[in-house]
């Protein structure tokens, strides 16, 4: 009986020892990731308040002929080269920083279903004209919303209002360690008229596209957009 127990114990010991070889090692902090290239995700798309526009005749009245070239230029020169995040450093399970043209920004790290989010520790300030930030379209287009602390009237001139706000910026990443992507949305909002579409400028946002974001457009607005993924690889 003792020999049987001894043999059984040895078998258990060797099974546990062998199983340990398959366990992945713990993360080695700190970890540094650098951006390497930008990858288009699909093609440019157009939306109105009713949803995505796919009819070719309708699209002719909503977009400019050079949309694709404009978006490609903006992606290559702003998202990839200058205006985006270029370095991410994870110091531990809950802390890290990102580096962009603004410099190094200390952040808290939190896991989400698609990957992780770095939330800037210090607050930032911004201005929107015409309406408060939490009613502005740029607030709704991304699925990860910033934390807004307060909004206030910044200026008023001849009936035109500009509102200021303070918020904590969030940096969104899809995937996990090894290599991951920073999703970017490049978009331009335009006013729909009987004339050729009025160009209202384009901007970009590090975020995943929110479901039903187009419902926050005005009745006379359309939006052209293209999604990109900025690849980060471990150094």
pLDDT, tens only, 119-159:
999 998 888 888 889 988 889 999 998 899 999 998 887 77
Any residues with CB less than 8 A from the CB of 78 and at least 6 apart, and which? 84, 204
Whether 21 is in a domain gets the answer no
Whether 78 is in a domain gets the answer yes
Query: What one-character-per-residue DSSP string does 99-149 give?
Result: EETTEEEEEEEEEETTEEEEEESS-EEEEEESS-GGGSHHHHSBSSPPEEE
Whether 22 is in a domain gets the answer no
**Comparing C-alpha atoms, which of 72, 65, 35, 225 is closest to residue 137?**
225
Q: Determine the structural domain holding residue 218 and report its residue range.
A: 29-234
Compute the radius of gyration of the chain from its Cα atoms: 24
Whether 16 is in a domain gets the answer no
Write out pLDDT tens, residues 150-168.
999 988 877 788 999 999 9
Looking at the whole model, is its pTM more than 0.85?
A: no
Residue 181 tokens read as: 């992507």
Whether 1 is in a domain gets the answer no
Whether 103 is in a domain gets the answer yes
> What pLDDT, on a 0 to 100 scale, did the predictor assign at position 195?
56
Distance of CA 145 to the CA centre of its chain: 10
Whether 11 is in a domain gets the answer no
> Is the pLDDT confidence value at 209 over 90?
yes
Count CB neighbours of 184 within 10 A: 26
Write out pLDDT tens, residues 63-84.
655 555 666 666 666 666 656 7
How many domains is the chain built from? 1
pLDDT over 70, % of the chain:
74
Average pLDDT over the chain, rounded to whole?
79
Distance of CA 91 to the CA centre of its chain: 21
> Is the pLDDT confidence value at 14 over 60?
no
Whether 4 is in a domain gets the answer no
As a whole number of angstroms, the distance between CA 16 and CA 78 comes to 52
Confidence of residue 29 (pLDDT cuts 50, 70, 90): confident
User: Across the strands, what pairs with 97?
Assistant: 89, 106
Residue pointed to by tokens 């308040």: 49
In the Cβ-directed half-sphere of 26, how many Cα atoms lie within 13 Å? 4
91: enclosing H helix or E strand: none
As a whole number of angstroms, the distance between CA 232 and CA 179 comes to 6
Confidence of residue 188 (pLDDT cuts 50, 70, 90): confident
């Amino acid at each position: 009986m003792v020999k049987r127990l001894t043999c059984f114990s040895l078998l258990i010991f060797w099974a546990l020892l062998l199983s340990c070889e398959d366990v992945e090692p713990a993360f080695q902090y700190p970890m540094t990731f650098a951006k390497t290239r930008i990858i288009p995700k699909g093609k440019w798309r157009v939306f109105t308040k009713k949803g995505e526009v796919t009819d070719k005749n309708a699209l002719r009245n909503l977009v400019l002929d050079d949309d694709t070239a404009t978006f490609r230029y903006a992606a290559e020169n702003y998202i990839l080269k200058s205006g985006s995040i270029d370095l991410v450093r994870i110091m531990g399970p809950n802390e890290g920083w990102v580096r962009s043209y603004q410099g190094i920004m200390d952040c808290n790290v939190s896991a989400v279903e698609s990957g992780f989010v770095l939330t800037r520790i210090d607050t930032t300030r911004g201005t929107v004209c015409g309406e408060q930030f939490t009613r502005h379209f740029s607030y709704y287009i991304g699925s990860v919303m910033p934390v807004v602390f307060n909004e206030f009237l910044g200026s008023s001139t001849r009936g035109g209002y500009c509102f200021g706000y303070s918020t904590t910026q969030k940096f969104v990443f899809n995937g996990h360690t090894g290599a991951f992507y920073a999703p970017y949305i490049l978009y331009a909002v335009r006013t729909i008229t009987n004339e050729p579409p009025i160009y209202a400028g384009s901007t970009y946002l590090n975020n995943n596209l929110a479901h039903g974001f187009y419902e926050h457009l005005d009745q006379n607005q359309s939006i052209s957009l293209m999604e990109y993924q900025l690849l980060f690889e471990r150094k």
